[in-house]
Amino acid sequence: MDLRQISDRLETADVLTRYTRAIDTGEWDLLDTVFTPDATIDYTESGGIAGEYAAVKPWLAEVLPAFFLRRLHMLGQVESVVDGDTARVAAYFHNPMAMADGAGGEKVVELGGIYHHEMVRTAEGWRSRRLHEQITWRRGL
């Protein structure tokens, strides 16, 4: 593996980290450093929407805080297959989230699955132009 390959793997992993940090902290503008302006995002397997980034970003900012009091992603193994200026990146995730239990308390719900990104190298660095969230298990929903 040469330095370019190592750099590409580290940089695509950084995109994943920025994505999960943005979602977990509610720093929605950080998503602008994750996605290309024309990116498509598919959250339908978790009950969300699918669409272009311009529509999905405000939806995330409205819906996630309304349903989930706190969010916390953990990423597992990451596979980056780089081909020139494009990459297919798959990352296992575990996402426990706190939500109101309807009785004045909280409960934790969890999702697990794989984020499938199609990334492209841009002048600003690697960005995702497509995200499909594959849900493989859920608990508490």
Closest CA to 36 of 120, 133, 129: 129
Residue 33, SS3 per DSSP: helix
* Phi and psi, residue 52, nearest 5°: -80, 155
46: number of CA atoms within 13 Å, CB side? 26
Is the pLDDT at 13 greater than 90? The verdict is yes
Number of domains present in the structure of the chain:
1
The band of 105, judged by pLDDT with boundaries at 50, 70 and 90, is very high
State yes or no: pLDDT of 1 exceeds 90. no
Mean pLDDT (whole number) for 136-140: 96
pLDDT tens digits, residue range 38-83? 999 999 999 999 999 999 999 999 999 999 999 999 999 999 999 9
Mean pLDDT of the chain: 97
pLDDT for the residue 60: 98
pLDDT of residue 61: 98
The conformation of residue 92, written as its DSSP 8-state character, comes to E
pLDDT surpasses 90 at 141: no
Instruction: Please state, in angstroms and rounded to a whole number, the distance separating the CA atoms of residues 60 and 80.
Output: 26
Residue 103 sits at the vertex; the CA angle it makes with 101 and 106, to the nearest 5 degrees, is: 35
Find out whether 135 and 111 touch, Cβ atoms under 8 Å: yes
Percent of the chain with pLDDT over 90: 98
Domain that residue 127 falls in: 3-139
The domain that holds 14 is classified in CATH as: 3.10.450.50
Q: Checking DSSP bridges between strand 35-42 and strand 125-139, what pairing results, if any?
A: parallel
